[in-house]
């Protein structure tokens, strides 16, 4: 296994006149901007800032966008990305519960209640998905605007 610090030194020597690429990948770990780490584990991504755990997200695009937002010190956008991503998973869980409960109950009123709650969760899910996509697009826009000199290469 390659030591990361030795690997970075070798890459810096190869690109002596250039900056280290913003994203390095080693197995299931992404090192982003020399400051952030994204670790893929059990179908989700753990976010680290300077080796300090921040939170889990469920999509790689959210994880990368969070790094971009945090680097540009857009704290509200970074918070929103994590919030929307977690709310999407929560609403999916709520929908599964209401769907299961609607199948199990015998009373029509209870079945209609769970159906209504299912539809409400579905509408909220779609809203959170739209908000997450807007937030990801905003982080990409900020990257283009603020980090035009950054290279977009990934070394694996």
Residue 156 in domain: no
Best CA proximity match to 136, nearest among 86, 90, 41, 67: 67
pLDDT at 131: 95
Residue 7 in domain: no
CA dist., res. 146 & res. 67, Å (int): 13
Q: Which domain holds residue 59?
A: 17-148
* % of the chain surpassing 90 pLDDT: 58
Tokens for 140, please give them: 């990409």
Summarize pLDDT for 49-83 with one digit per residue, the tens.
988 999 999 999 999 999 989 988 899 999 999 99
Q: How many domains does the chain have?
A: 1
């Amino acid at each position: 296994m390659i030591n990361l610090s030795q690997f970075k030194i070798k890459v810096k020597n190869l690109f002596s006149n250039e900056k280290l690429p913003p994203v390095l990948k080693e197995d299931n770990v992404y090192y982003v901007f020399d400051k952030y780490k994204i670790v893929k584990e059990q179908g989700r991504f753990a976010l680290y800032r300077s080796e300090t755990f921040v939170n889990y997200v469920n999509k790689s695009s959210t994880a990368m966008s969070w790094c971009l937002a945090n680097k540009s010190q857009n704290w509200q956008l970074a918070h929103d990305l994590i919030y929307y991503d977690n709310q999407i998973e929560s609403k999916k869980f709520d929908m599964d519960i209401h769907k299961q409960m609607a199948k199990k109950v015998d009373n029509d009123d209870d079945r209609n209640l769970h159906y209504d709650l299912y539809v409400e969760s579905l509408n909220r899910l779609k809203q959170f998905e739209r908000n997450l996509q807007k937030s990801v697009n905003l982080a990409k826009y900020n990257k283009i605007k603020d980090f035009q000199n950054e290279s977009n290469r990934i070394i694996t």
